[in-house]
Amino acid sequence: MKEETFNKWFNAFILLGMAVALIITTAFKLGGTQTGKTLLVISAFGSLMGILSSIFSANAKIWTFFFGLLDVSIYGIMCFINWKQGGSGLGNAILHMLYFVPMQFIGFWQWKKRGTDSSDKLKARRLSTKKRVLFTSLFVVSSIVAYFILAKFDKSAADSYIKVAVVLDVLPLICNIFGQLLMSTAYMEQWLFWIGVNIFSIAMWSVSLKSGDSSFAIIYVIKYSFYLINSINGLRIWLNISRPEAGLQK
């Protein structure tokens, strides 16, 4: 099967699979709860926008920023509500509203500056060995600093030597920051961070789902499960388009 044909079928699978799963889950949850129905529907809509953004991003299409703006705005609000209801998510709420929302505009400008539009693919590049070491070091240091900051102010986390709820908040937060930065500057390594975001986010929302803190947690467990599948495919695509023979840029 040709690469282009495979990608079309894969994208259709991700989009339709996500849509069907969200419709069934949302309908089931709506019938079984008397509260939080509006938030449930909004979460489902935001998740669909997010999967569209993720698909366009994996295929290096600039439309990713339009759908991404809708996704990150809704998700930031949902994370804040989840935190207010006693769950985790404060770090992700701050991240999405103060970082991700403006980064959609910055990323759009950067991709346009690099010569892409709604129909052309962006030329991807890879980090040098020196930059990979630098990003890895910054990731570790940033995660530690963010943990101690959120552990001090996040009252929703139980007191213990290591606050698991804060850890599950910090790791996707820092992965998101690095992933968005590398995405906006067209580096292949963004997908390593997106894979991390998806794994840690599944864990975070699974904890909220198990504890019953959130009426819309199941939506995000489904969302990030599909994100994880798509991010693996995104890594595959970007490994190919960032090869030196494909026009690697330093």
Q: Supply the DSSP string of 41-65, one letter for each residue.
A: HHHHHHHHHHHHHHHHHHTT-TTHH
Residue whose tokens read 């570790």 = 140
The overall pTM is greater than 0.85: no
Report the pLDDT value the prediction gives residue 24, as an integer from 0 to 100: 83
Nearest to 73, CA basis, from 100, 37, 44: 100
Supply the pLDDT for residue 204: 80
Each residue's pLDDT tens digit, 111-130? 887 666 655 567 788 999 99
Pick out the chain residues at pLDDT < 70.
1, 31-36, 87-88, 114-121, 154-161, 213-216, 245-250
Neighbouring-strand partners of residue 187: 125
Q: Cα separation of 84 and 79, whole Å?
A: 9
Q: Which two tokens stand for residue 38?
A: 């509006």
Note the pLDDT of residue 233. 92
* SS3 call for 117: coil
pLDDT in tens, 133-158: 999 999 999 999 988 887 777 655 55
- Taking the CA of residue 11 as centre, how many other CA atoms within 13 Å lie in the half-sphere pointing to its CB? 18
What local confidence, expressed as pLDDT, does residue 135 receive? 94
